[in-house]
Structure 1
Amino acid sequence: MADPEAGAGGSPEPREETLVEPARVNGSAAEATLSGTELAWRPTGPIRDGGGSRKLELESDVLGFQVEGRALKVATFARGEEARPPSPLGCGGGGGDRKRGEVVVEMESEDAAQRWGDAIRDRFATLGRPKRLLIIVNPYGGKRGARKIFQTEVLPLIEAAGIHYIMQETKHRLHAQEIARSLDLRKYDGVICVSGDGILVEVVNGLLQRNDWSTAIKVPLGIIPAGTGNGMVQALLHSSGEPFSMSNAVFAIIRGHKRALDVTSVVQGKTKFFSVMMLTWGLVADIDIESEKFRWMGSARIDFYSLLRVVNLRRYSGRILFVPAPGYEGIGDPVEHTTSCKSNEAGNTNEGDTSNVCNNETCTYSGPSVDEADLEWRSLNGPFVNAWISNIAFASEGVMIAPQAQFADGYLDAAIIKDCPRSVALRLLLGMKDGSYIESPYVEYFKVKALRIEPGLRVGSSTIGGIIDADGEVLARGDVTRSGDEPEHLMAYGAPIQLTVDQGLATIFSPR
């Protein structure tokens, strides 16, 4: 494998001239044209079956290329056939699944092939594709198939695209966080997780624990689905109209498009956790965490345990306070006064800037600067069946929890299921497949700038609380059922937990 630091110099200026050459394309005589970022050809001899004029968009149809003597070998990943016929609208072919292929353009001389290779390389340089990646593989997530996914699904596409990479496997819990915290980011154009959503969250937390967090958090992140839920990948692909698939997730990274991503600070006293996805309390958290004992069932464990939980439906007392986004000021009741969930950190905080915590010359990110005195809070009182607070639309491939969620709008989407009959709870779970459950009168759906959960006990119990789950990890647990090998939880159940959004703080690879 090539040195990942190779080719770190600046990209050359693109050559914009149109190239036209006689050539043989996949063995047939043709006239080849390179215009802008479009490679096209039309037959000049007898047209074979499936022949005719064709074209490839370098940005959306091509993985990479090689020049071998007089031959220009183009690795394609296009919809339909190996290359699409021209569209009457001039924007490529229609829909369909992408398939790998190869187009061989044989020039009349090696000089011509090299000239075309240089021109295509210059055009690729304008697309912002990554050249060097760190790929973190979690062999323990989901069905423990990440190693195989990396070898069979990721590596062939990455190598065809000519991307240099370093692969590192996680060895234990929070290992990805440790890797991100100590990583030499100058060596890479992005950090990719072959895992479930939890490893991506570990990487975000590791980057924000660095001295150079403000630079580190801008390193583009990517995720290849190898977990149980894979909500982030589904949300990214769905937002661009792409079908959920392993290869589409990899190609989204290769193409190099990026989008901003909100980061949520989850705070209880001096304890902080940074989330990019969701927090749940109640029914969904119970299903997610308690169904772990049925992990041998694969993703079916969720459906199975959902039925068990609905049959024995739990309700939780408590209160949810929030600062509504514009347009949602009529939800809940006004709150006259609230106290901060943050402890007094005056000795550790830069004057006038609460985004850094400095101690022994180490500065880390502590969350967005918010003057809580200027916020107008409102509240909803329990009992609740479920509280779902999300930054993205999907919890998994088949569960749309927040249909109106945006990656970087600066708001969290709250979906609060109030006390309801078992039959209604079942219908709501079924309605999560397409997001239609939010239309129920038993659901309050709204956007917030900040939100605070004051979790109470399970209705009917004087001692048992619930589970608060953030991005698949238990933050706090009040049901006293922690197993012997389960780590201590980051936060205490019962004390207020506050979520505050930092708009567009992180960057993630996206299909568009």
Structure 2
Amino acid sequence: MEEKLPEAEAPQRRDAGRVLLYGEFAAAAGAKVRFAVSLTDTELAVQRVTAASASRTRVVHYLMDCVGCRAFRAEEDADPGAYFSAYFYPFRRRWMSSTGGRQRLELRFRVAAATAARDPQGNLREAERWALAIREGSARHRPHREGVVYGEVRRPCRLMLLVNPHSGRGQALCLFTSHIQHMLTEAGVTHTLIVTERQNHARELVREADLSQWDALVIISGDGLLFEVVNGLMERDDWEEAIQTPLGILPGGSGNALAASIHHYTGSPPGSSEDLLVSCGFLLCKGLVSRLDLVSVSLASGLRLFSFLSLAWGFVADVDIESEKYRYVGAARFTVGTLVRLASLRVYRGRLAYLPAEEPPPRCGASPQGHAPGFCSSLFCQKKASADQGAAHTFRNSCNSNNATKASRSEAPPAASGGPADSLLVPLEQPVPSHWTVVKEEDFVLVLAMYQSHLAEDLLAAPGASLEDGVMHLFYVKAGISRAALLRLFLAMEKGVHLAAGCPDLVYVKVLALRLEPLTPKGVITVDGEVVEYGPVQAQVHSGLARLIAG
């Protein structure tokens, strides 16, 4: 029988809501085992039909885990039945482990009503009715976080999918065909695959592309390819509209920091390699879009770049670049690079200044230009801090409003391409504003500004970060830290507990803008893991400027 039972007769659960569809189906032609299938607002429940109803086992599949459903005719012409297949990717923990990943599950049922044995079209219509209802239910239920504003990719969806064939261990294209391609088909997402041929190829493509043909731009690579895409969009004359194009990332490199961050934000246990790829593929198929902070980075030459992940100088930048030779080991390249660089630890002399996101009370007995540990709790210092904080708050508001001071507007560094004005910055050749915090000239081991949670797949550098928190998470370590202490710091970072480890050499602060002036003649500065011009650099957050497909 292929009839929808009256609601009073259809099995229901209080927490699942009203039954929308109910039917009994076989899994294949001629199969004697049949299943009772019911669809509610939130789940697809399957129960094997047996003579002893008390022994029935009911299995629930949540629509939140479903990416799509399709209806189709039987392959054999003699079979008048039709089928519908629903595709689920539920999260499964590994045995005796805190980790896990999403695993593919296909549920296929045969529709062949007794009254429609000679009506294959009627069977197909019924299968399509179920497939449509399941797809609509899946679309209503997407992974999301409370308090985050979302949109969604338009359906049917058309993706430009850019693949760097040399990314990581050179397996990005293979990872796509073996893990992602069928997921997109199951979700009904059409795509055009473009294999990049050289550095900045993706940057050139998106700079000139007719974006009206695409609902999203997705890369499968490391973070470097997305860096190209973001900057290509910001170099367009229509950058304000172009940067609203939803961006997606599928990890195919050795770093995969943004992909790991997205996975982390969903609340899932840590994942790596194929687990991380399938997780991001699942989110891509669900098509939920959130805002993404971008940071404008101004260099001494006048070049202005846009960054979505990090700005690094010293130890972190050295490891990132010097570990390129270990790409063949995948994500472990950073572990190898860290150990190599620890063996001959370098220090760099420079100046650092920043605008705190929240002004702290002044340090008792410390120079306003210093950064000594320990906050003062005296009434006098608290009152002064309150006044300073109010002044800084007023300055930030005025800089970000249409009534900004003439100096703030006229002296802001000009954009080398498109993009919003950097209202919190003054030209690099001028001193930073007086209300900024200045770290006196020091020897540093590292300076790192993070805007997302992960620095690599296994490095939870900024556990408090989110896609659009509107701040940079600034870390720096001064010279004097021992090799053993630095190693312990990075080991703690694997679990994101380094900030609670009590390391006296680590300073962490949330900032809206910063300036870094290296005084050591040689060194490396990276933006999103890419080497940039060495020299003075400054940056400012632009909250929620871009859009990212992320649950």
TM-score normalized by structure 1? 0.78
User: Which letter does structure 2 place at the counterpart of 1:118?
Assistant: L
User: Which letter does structure 2 place at the counterpart of 1:497?
Assistant: V
User: Which letter does structure 1 place at the counterpart of 2:510?
Assistant: K
User: Which letter does structure 1 place at the counterpart of 2:280?
Assistant: A
1:329 and 1:46 map into 2 onto residues whose CA distance is: 74
Q: Among 501, 515, 518, which residue is 1:452 paired with? A: 515
1:330 and 1:406 map into 2 onto residues whose CA distance is: 28
Structure-to-structure mapping, 1:338-357, within 5 angstroms: none
DSSP-derived class of the 1:364 partner: coil
**Does structure 2 retain, via aligned residues, the 8 Å contact 1:66–1:74?**
no
Q: Among 263, 277, 281, which residue is 2:294 paired with? A: 263
Q: Among 103, 108, 131, which residue is 2:107 paired with? A: 103
What are the Cα deviations for residues 24-62 of structure 1, in whole angstroms up to 9, with x where unaligned? 153543443332243234444347999622333333234
DSSP-derived class of the 1:40 partner: strand
- Structure 1 residue 232 displacement after superposition: 0.7
Q: Is 2:545 the counterpart of 1:505?
A: yes
Aligned to 2:438: 379
Q: 1:365 to 1:49 in 2, by over 3 A?
A: farther
- Structure 1 residue 214 displacement after superposition: 1.3
Q: Is 2:490 the counterpart of 1:429?
A: yes
Q: Is 2:363 the counterpart of 1:304?
A: no
User: Which letter does structure 2 place at the counterpart of 1:379?
Assistant: V
Compare 147-156 and 121-130 and name the one that shifted more. Answer: 121-130
Q: 1:102 to 1:294 in 2, by over 3 A?
A: closer
Q: Mark the runs of 5 or more structure 2 residues left unpaired by the alignment.
A: 1-16, 74-80, 117-122, 142-151, 371-407, 427-431
Aligned to 2:398: none
Aligned to 1:90: none
What are the Cα deviations for residues 295-318 of structure 1, in whole angstroms up to 9, with x where unaligned? 445444433332232222111111
- Structure 1 residue 185 displacement after superposition: 1.7
Of Structure 1 and Structure 2, the greater strand share is in: 1
1:268 and 1:72 map into 2 onto residues whose CA distance is: 56
**Does structure 2 retain, via aligned residues, the 8 Å contact 1:402–1:415?**
no
What are the Cα deviations for residues 477-498 of structure 1, in whole angstroms up to 9, with x where unaligned? 4xxxxxxxxxxxxxxx2xx211
What are the Cα deviations for residues 461-483 of structure 1, in whole angstroms up to 9, with x where unaligned? xxx42111111111134xxxxxx
User: Which letter does structure 1 place at the counterpart of 2:296?
Assistant: S
Q: Is 2:481 the counterpart of 1:417?
A: no
DSSP-derived class of the 2:504 partner: coil
2:329 and 2:134 map into 1 onto residues whose CA distance is: 48
User: Which letter does structure 2 place at the counterpart of 1:504?
Assistant: G
Q: 1:103 to 1:278 in 2, by over 3 A?
A: same
Q: 1:405 to 1:140 in 2, by over 3 A?
A: same
Aligned to 2:251: 225
What are the Cα deviations for residues 192-245 of structure 1, in whole angstroms up to 9, with x where unaligned? 111001111111111111122112111111111111111111111112122422
1:358 and 1:283 map into 2 onto residues whose CA distance is: 29
1:54 and 1:122 map into 2 onto residues whose CA distance is: 21
**Does structure 2 retain, via aligned residues, the 8 Å contact 1:367–1:502?**
no
DSSP-derived class of the 1:155 partner: helix
User: Which letter does structure 1 place at the counterpart of 2:418?
Assistant: T
1:286 and 1:356 map into 2 onto residues whose CA distance is: 28
DSSP-derived class of the 2:449 partner: strand
DSSP-derived class of the 1:383 partner: strand
DSSP-derived class of the 2:341 partner: helix
Aligned to 2:281: 250
Of Structure 1 and Structure 2, the greater helix share is in: 2
User: Which letter does structure 1 place at the counterpart of 2:209?
Assistant: L
- Structure 1 residue 455 displacement after superposition: 0.9
1:380 and 1:371 map into 2 onto residues whose CA distance is: 17
Which has the higher Rg, Structure 1 or Structure 2?
A: 2
Q: Is 2:24 the counterpart of 1:23?
A: yes
Number of residue pairs aligned between Structure 1 and Structure 2: 444
**Does structure 2 retain, via aligned residues, the 8 Å contact 1:265–1:367?**
no
Q: Is 2:292 the counterpart of 1:238?
A: no
